[in-house]
Structure 1
Amino acid sequence: MSGPTQSFWQERFEKQETPWDRGGPNPQLLRWLENGELSPCRILVPGCGKGWEVLELAQRGFDVVGVDYTQAAVEHTRALLASQGAFAQVVEADVLSYHPNTKFDAIYEQTCLCAIHPDHWKDYAEQVWHWLVPGGSLWVMFMQSVRPAATEEGRIEGPPYHCDINAMRAMFPLSRWQWPTPPYTRVPHTHLTYELALQLVKRG
C-alpha cells in the first residue's frame, strides 16, 4: 500500500510529533457550529486524531462516531471524552475498509484526506459517498500544502498531501456533489500552511 503505514502514525503519536494538531477544535468548525450552519445530527469524523472535534460535537448534542486506525489516537480520543464526561463512539478501523451499519447525515473531514496517499484518494472518495445519506453534507477542510518538488518535478510529497482544488473537483464531481461558489474560506494553520473550508452536499 502506498503512503504512510499504521506504524508510522502510531510512532508519531507516541513521540508527540503531531504538528497538524491544534490542541483544540478547528476554528472553522466552531464557526460552522456557532452560526447554525452545522446543527446536531448523526456525524462521522474520519481520521479523528486526538479527538478535539469529536469532543466538541459530542458536547453540542451530535450523535458522533470518530474513526482512526491508529491505536494511540483512539485511546487519546476515548480518554479525552471520558475526562469531560462526554460520549461518542470511537472506532479503531481503516477508513478505506470501514463500513458502518447506518449511514450518516454529515461528515466532518479535516486531516484524513491529506494523510492518505493520493493513490488511494479515489477509494476514499467512494467511501465518503457511501457513508452519507442522500442530501447529506461533507464539511471539508482541503489542506493546501504545495511543495517545490511537487510543482517543479511532479513528485508526490507528504503527508500532508496537497489537496489541489482542481483535483478535489475531479474526485468529488458535480454529478455527485453540489459545490458552493468560490472563493472558499481560507483557514490559517500555525504549523502547516492553510486549509480551504467548504460544504459539499451529496446529490440524491
Structure 2
Amino acid sequence: MNQDFNAAYWQQRYRQNQTGWDVGGITPPLKEYFDHLKNKDLRILIPGCGNAYEAEYLHKNGFKAVYVADVAEAPLQNFLGRVPDFPQDHLLRQDFFSLQGPFDLMVEQTFFCALNPQLRAAYALKCHELLQPEGKLMGLLFDTTFEKAGPPFGGDREEYKIYFAPYFDFIHFETAYNSIPPRQGKELFMLLQAKQIQV
C-alpha cells in the first residue's frame, strides 16, 4: 500500500466533497456517552476530527477543554465557521502522531478507519501515550469490510483486540445498539481504559 494519505490528500477530499463518512452531525452512540459525563473540565481530544460535530456538541454543552486535531485545513475551517467561539488554540492542525498529551478522554470517530492499516498498532500505542494513567479511549470502529479500496478501511473485533490489548483494559467492546441505520450491526462501540504500564 503506497498511497500517502497526507494533508494534501484529505484537503482534496474535502474540497471535492468526497466525504461519505460525514453524516452531518453527532451520532447517537457518542451523544449518549457524552450525555452521561459529569465533569465538564475533562481534557478531551478528538483526533482526525473532520468537521468535528462531536466537538461542537461538547462545546455547546459546556465542556471547556475540548481539543480537535486534523491534518487538513478545510474541516477545521468548516468547524470554526459553525462554532466561531471555540478556542482557536484548541484547533490543532497537525499529524496525530505528533500530538502531545496528556488527555483524560480520546474520542474515536472514523479516524482509525481512515489510517493506513499498517499504522493501526502504532495508533493504539500513541493513544496510550496521549492519555493520562487510566484515561479512556471511547468511540466507534467499523466491524465490517468494504467492497471498494479504502479509505475507509474495515476490519473486525478480533483484529482490533490485538492492537489495543497490550495498552488498554476493555470496559466495553461490543456491537453498538444505537448506530445510525446505514451502520446498524457494522459498528463496535468501545470504551477502553489505559493500563498503567511502561512502554
Which interval holds the TM-score relative to the shorter structure? 0.7 to 0.9
Q: Identity, % of aligned pairs?
A: 25
Aligned pairs for 1:104-123 (under 5 A) are: 104-123=103-122
Shift of 1:188: 3.5
Q: Describe the SS at the equivalent of 1:10.
A: helix
Structure 2 gaps, min length 5: none
Calculate the aligned-residue CA RMSD, in Å. 2.3
User: TM-score, length-normalised on structure 2?
Assistant: 0.85
Q: Which runs of 4+ in 1 moved over 4 A?
A: none
Given that 2:169 and 2:195 are in contact with CA atoms closer than 8 Å, whether structure 1 keeps it comes out as yes
The alpha-carbon deviation at position 167 of structure 1 amounts to 1.3
Q: Which deviations, in whole Å up to 9, do the C-alpha atoms of 1:58-101 show, x marking residues without a partner?
A: 1222210000001111211222210xx44461110011222x2x
Is 1:80–2:82 an aligned residue pair?
Answer: yes
The residue correspondences of 1:1-204 to structure 2 (distance < 5 A) are 2-34=3-35, 36-37=36-37, 39-40=39-40, 41-62=42-63, 63-82=65-84, 85-87=85-87, 89-98=90-99, 100=100, 102-147=101-146, 157-173=149-165, 175-180=166-171, 183-186=174-177, 187-188=179-180, 190=182, 194-204=186-196
- One-letter amino acid matched to 1:56: Y
Alignment check: 8 A CA contact 2:172 2:192 kept: no
Q: Please tell me whether the aligned partners of residues 6 and 71 of structure 2 are also in contact (alpha carbons under 8 angstroms).
A: no
Q: Confirm or deny: 8 A CA contact 1:59 1:86 kept in the other structure.
A: no
Q: Closer, same or farther in 2 for the Cα pair 1:126/1:181, shift >3 Å?
A: closer
Matched residue SS, 1:96: helix
Deviates more, 1:180-189 or 1:16-25: 180-189
**Structure 1 stretches of 5 or more lacking a match?**
150-156
> TM-score, length-normalised on structure 1?
0.83
